Chain A
Amino acid sequence: MTIGEVKSILEAKVLVGEERMEEPVVTACGSDLMSDVLAFVKDRTVLITGLINPHVVRTSEMLDITCIVFSRGKLPSQEILEEAEESGITVMSTEMTTYTACGELYVHGLPGTKKRAGGEGA
């Protein structure tokens, strides 16, 4: 799936990274708990979250998460958007709840993360 397809499935508005719509994503994760994201996520992931603070971007940069979708129409501050821009991370906002957004991506064929970031199965 491409980031552009994620955008259209979630009827999302792109806030950063309009030029990266052709980039592929292979998995998705829905969480407001960055501790869990750090423990489970891997490369080329879409993160769907209702949590808005700069640590969402920093956590994503550490993990090579390429796309963040803020749910329930939440809009991050300019500071957060600038940090994402600098990190090369695409940011979108959808009116859907986290649950619905995850469900929509899942039924369209984007699976969840299965392995821990450290490589051990979990």
Chain B
Amino acid sequence: MAVLMEKVFPVEAGAYGTAGEASTTIKRTLKQLGVGAEVLRHVSVACYEVELNLVIHSLGGTLTLQVEPDKVTLISKDVGPGIPDIEKAMTEGFSTANEEARTLGFGAGMGLPNMKRNSTEFDIQSEVGVGTTITMSFALK
């Protein structure tokens, strides 16, 4: 279906101070478009989790928002380091987050499972030394 809107947000590795700004903008954009409160919350939670993951774990990347008439899609694409064991990374409680992330209240190993739980469709592709791409879509009722 036709993409009504596409926006790309660069996310810098280690930028803890500004982490979450892209998600805030995305939430406000979708709210203006009239996306319902419940779907909006699912998108926002997954978006915030994935943006934090980019800041905490990646070497930098982008977060892309696509809006279609029947769904919202978020694509997180980074330039490394890649995830060696995706199954392990998807396990609740497993975390490789550093001390800085933990001090801020993150890194409990809930991020990826929480993204999957909040999205209608969830896909993760990763190659060590290349990067990770996470695609999440959210059906608009």
Contact = CB atoms under 8 A, between A and B. Distances in A.
Interface of A: 32-39, 42-43, 51, 53-56, 58-59, 61-64, 87, 116-120
Nearest to B103: A53
A58 B48 contact: yes
B114 A59 contact: no
B44 A63 contact: yes
B99 to A, nearest CB: 14
Q: Is the interface of B mostly helix, strand, loop or mixed?
A: helix
B107 interface: yes
Closest 6 CB pairs of A and B: A118-B117, A35-B108, A34-B105, A58-B20, A62-B44, A35-B110
A87 B107 CA distance: 24
Contacts of A56: 105
B104 A55 contact: yes
Contacts of B109: 35
Contacts of A54: 17, 20
Interface of B: 17, 19-20, 23-24, 27, 37, 41-42, 44-45, 47-49, 104-111, 113-114, 117-118
A54 B41 CA distance: 19
Contacts, number: 80
A55 B45 CA distance: 13
Nearest to B21: A58
B37 A43 contact: yes
A38 B44 CA distance: 10
Nearest to B116: A118
B108 A36 contact: yes
A70 to B, nearest CB: 13
A117 B113 CA distance: 12
6 contacts: A32-B105, A35-B106, A35-B108, A54-B20, A55-B104, A56-B105
Contact of B117 (A37, A59, A116): A116
A33 B95 CA distance: 14
A36 B27 CA distance: 20
A37 B23 CA distance: 16
A104 B23 CA distance: 34
A32 B107 CA distance: 12
A24 B27 CA distance: 22
A39 B110 contact: yes
Contacts of A119: 117
B114 A55 contact: no
A53 B104 contact: yes
